Chains A and B, each alone.
Chain A
Amino acid sequence: MLKRSLAILTLLIIGYWLAQGLAGVPFGQDRMLVGHYYLEHVKEQTGAVNAVTAIVVNYRGFDTLGEVTVLFIASTGVAALLWRKKKKRSAKTEGSVVLTTGTRLLVPFVILFGSYIFIHGHLTPGGGFPGGATIATGFLLLYMAFTTYEIPHRGFEKTEGIAGMSYVLVGLIGLGIGGYFLFDWIWQTWQLGTDNIGRLFSGGFIPIIYILIGIKVGTELSGIIDNMVKEEVSE
């Protein structure tokens, strides 16, 4: 009881302190410093209609590369923590007929929709990370409905590595052409799709990088799921 009331008191003090800090912020006023620059130049500099993906991939591509690395480390870490010689699914009851049939029908559509999200990253909300997570949801559905389902490991792990390396490769090509890492060579050097802004074939290298990120995130999260649902087999 004493512990709980002390915790509540501390939280209240911290909350009051944060509210004091926020009370000085003028909400609803135009306080953008760099934001204006992004909003005014995003179309002619990157070709993307979606300013968020343009900032995430193009203006501040290093952050995205770091995020992809974080996900890769998470996936590798889970695999290293749960590493066993022999691992098998321990689930015993198959899902009901309704669930298995529904999953069988639904999974292609889930994967299609995930691909739609990451292919249209420069036009609609979303991008590589939500699209990849949607694809991983499809595989999670398969894992939950069928007791024997397993992702094809070799293919998945290779695809993940190749997608990650291709992202760095796209950046290195930019380094060769434009002089700095993650230079948007498709838009600024080739001028591909300059009269096409707002349609699918525009946006410089944003769609390409988001396709790579989508594939990478999808395979990575599926791999994490696979590691977590399996258990060690004692012989």
Chain B
Amino acid sequence: MNALTATGEALVLIGTFFYFLSALGLIRMPDVYNRMQTSTKSATLGSLGVMLGVGIWALGTDFGNVAWLTKTITIAIFLLLTNPISAHTLIRAAYKSGIPLWEGSVVDRYREHLESRKAEVEEAEKTPEEGGEE
């Protein structure tokens, strides 16, 4: 047991802890948006911890070499860049398909924005001299 394996083990442990928190958030949270918020964030962080931990852990063992760390860092960067995009797309699709917010939600600026846009478009359609094609 040297410093590298100890660091790796600690990182993997932190990562699995965040995985657990993300699964817990999936059960505990009241609506889709809160669930996505907890699960995506902590799952991304947990994966980063586990992957980097495995790479560093392998450096400290006698069978491991730098190739492990390179591969895990590549996968970690890929996951770090793609996970937020997929979470964003999922939440946006959920909102667009009309899934309601939690009843405790206070403010919904996006709906106000969409409604003001809609009102503007209707206003433009009502005035005949400026109304272009449909």
Contacts and interface: CB of A to CB of B under 8 A. Distances in A.
Nearest to A95: B89
Contacts of B78: 109
A98 B88 contact: yes
A106 B82 contact: yes
A102 B89 CA distance: 11
B89 A96 contact: yes
B133 to A, nearest CB: 16
A73 interface: no
Interface string A79-95: 00000000000000101
Count class of interface residues, chain A = under 10
Contacts of B107: none
Contacts of A106: 81-82
A102 B82 contact: yes
Contacts of B85: 98-99, 102
Interface string A101-125: 0100110010000000000000000
B92 interface: yes
Interface in B48-86: 78, 81-82, 85
By secondary structure, the A interface counts as helix
B127 to A, nearest CB: 25
A19 B81 CA distance: 45
Nearest to A144: B89
A99 to B, nearest CB: 5
Nearest to B82: A106
Contacts of A93: 96
Nearest to A113: B78
Contacts of B81: 102, 105-106
B82 A96 contact: no
Interface in B77-112: 78, 81-82, 85, 88-89, 92, 96
Contacts of B96: 93
Nearest to B92: A96
Nearest to A102: B85
Contacts of A98: 85, 88-89
A117 to B, nearest CB: 14
B20 to A, nearest CB: 28
Contact of B88 (A99, A105, A109): A99
Contacts of A102: 81-82, 85
A106 B79 CA distance: 11
A100 to B, nearest CB: 10
A93 B88 CA distance: 16
Contacts of A99: 85, 88-89
A106 B85 CA distance: 11
A109 B88 CA distance: 20
A28 to B, nearest CB: 25
Of B78, B81, B85, B88, the most chain A CB neighbours within 10 A belong to B85
6 contacts: A93-B96, A95-B89, A96-B88, A99-B89, A102-B82, A102-B85
Interface of B: 78, 81-82, 85, 88-89, 92, 96
6 closest residue pairs by CB, A with B: A102-B85, A98-B88, A99-B89, A96-B92, A98-B85, A99-B85
